[in-house]
Amino acid sequence: MNNENQKQHPLYGALNDLKQLQDLLTNSWSKYYGHFFEKLVGSDTIPFCFTTKECKLYTVVNPKTHTATSFFRLEAIEKSRVKLTLLRAVDIEEQNTNVIKDVIRLEKTETQMTVDLGSMLAIQLLEPALLSKNTYIESKW
């Protein structure tokens, strides 16, 4: 993006940094250590959510599964729009959830969409480890 687009939306800088960091995870490779950064973090994705200008969590419905999600992976920045992969949020009972405090794992979906940044106010990064988490429930006794 050029400077004109950067002035167009205040989130450009944060989204651009996020994309660069995520690309570093995905594309960095060493002859001796392979994809070390991706292994270190445990994922090739830095998940995030948007806050709208109404101070609400931005939520979309996955058209393939008809489930709502507020969690995304940034794929590309295109002028005042972003291309996202939708992430499925799972709670302790393996049910879909959209409540951040209940999320124990995020799963990438095949669904991508383009979102206009016009109604977005902020982004909140989430732990990349949520994409590689294994949950074990042991009996209390």
Residue 31's domain spans which residues?
Answer: 3-129
Residue 137 lies in a domain: no
And the tokens for 137?
């429930």
Please name the helix (run of DSSP H) or strand (run of DSSP E) that holds residue 19, with its range, or none. helix 12-27
| Residue whose token pair is 């570093």 | 24
Count of domains forming the chain: 1
Rg for the chain, CA atoms, rounded: 16
- Mean predicted lDDT score pLDDT of the chain: 83
Instruction: Phi first, then psi: give them for residue 112, nearest 5 degrees.
Output: -120, 150
pLDDT tens digits for 90-135? 988 889 988 888 888 899 999 999 999 999 999 999 887 776 666 5
Is 73 within a domain?
Answer: yes
Q: Does residue 140 belong to any structural domain of this protein?
A: no
Question: Under a CB-based contact definition with an 8 Å cutoff, are residues 61 and 74 in contact?
Answer: no
By percentage, how much of the chain surpasses pLDDT 70? 80
Instruction: Report which secondary-structure segment, H or E, holds 51.
Output: strand 48-52
